[in-house]
Structure 1
């Protein structure tokens, strides 16, 4: 086949969304990160982008950070600006569901295309290094005495750490509606608030606070897992008599209006990326737990998770 005829053939297949797997390496992925730099979605998206390239599933990845409203701002831009784009992806997770429940944005997550769940992570609550408190027990004692005096800092309203803080209050007999929660648009802002002593307690994924915990700049007082995390000495909330457990999963959505074949191709690319050495390195570095779930099974999971989160948040007085 002549070169010009071959190129025309490739262009025709690209227009039809039927490029063969060998042509996937030419894919330029556009990754929407609906949070400011430094947070969990940003870290996940950039690690995934590197894995896609290292695995040969994409030739290039560009990133677009749009923080605010628990991801709703980035979601709106993704839904409205990426229709039919088979090269577009958006990182999302439990935090986005919580934000949609509390914020009720005009853009619906159902307008985008569910691809796969990638990881799960538990939250850790920390104190600033110069905090007068030394433990979760002391924080709870102050919370019972004066709920508003304990300033909880974390991700956007509806984030897992926000939900966890409300659940802690409810578990110890404090009205969740009285908690003083300060929402930040991204992990970087929350980190700065904790390091600056501007919040009483900070909450986030363990990986986001890990380096500050290791250097003694933050004092960990509890994790939201059922058991202590592997290699960690930080006690769970349950160990401390607080019956609260909640996880933070992260996944990827595709653009609205893509075909079933395009969706399958994106899922195949993601699966290839998650089997790469690059992704394994990121999983270990960030203490992420693999939680792969793809296609319709992931879609069904999101629907069920949305219902469960809404019920939990309603019971905790957040909705």
Structure 2
């Protein structure tokens, strides 16, 4: 004990050195174990990459963005809100199906009756039963838009695009006494010299009347404007020819557009027959044409005229 007291400083230093040595050994051992454990751990499995967005879905989303603003419906319903409520996309004011017609002129009730997507901006041009007629046409013709066997008549797809008139192919060239000279407008046929009561070669017309007329033009010269009246032997419709003037043919032409299936445009002359797919066995005849409409008949029902409206702009 006396020695420890005498050499206390040395004992303290020795004990501290021993403690540090033991600590270093322990730290080294733990470090080796940590390294071994770290090497045994396996890397976590990589997460699967997110699937790329579907091109079709993106295209559909882009198409919807191009559509005009449309009604936004609320999903609220219940005891105090018994009907659909929505916000008018134009006025931004609340509305209901009872107070606002969403797709005029088609009533909301008709769209809901057949469970059509009333919130779609293009609902009237949709064709859910793929019969070739859109919802607006089905409503106009009182047919079922979701039944392929219920559709408007195919003639409803016929519209008049334009109205045209052709020059009459004969020209009243001259007259001497009771003889009248007629030429073709293209001057490719020989002149016909005819009298009242004669039929005109190559046509359905005959001469029925002559009226001598004269007028003074702006230069003070007297001009012969005599008229020769022709008559269609089949229809008895009159046609007046003024001397040396090209007149409009009574055989008017209607230019039609048929939009069932593939769009088709074609011209029909008055009294000409034509047919329409898919009912090509039915023959139609153009009997009249005006700037606002064309009139046709089914040749099997000639007493029932069918008016063809003009094509909407």
TM-score when scaled to structure 1?
0.19
Q: Tell me which protein shows more strand as a share of its residues.
A: 2
- Kindly indicate which of the two structures has a greater share of residues assigned to helix: 1
Of structures 1 and 2, the one scoring higher in RCO (CA 8 A, sep 6+) is: 1
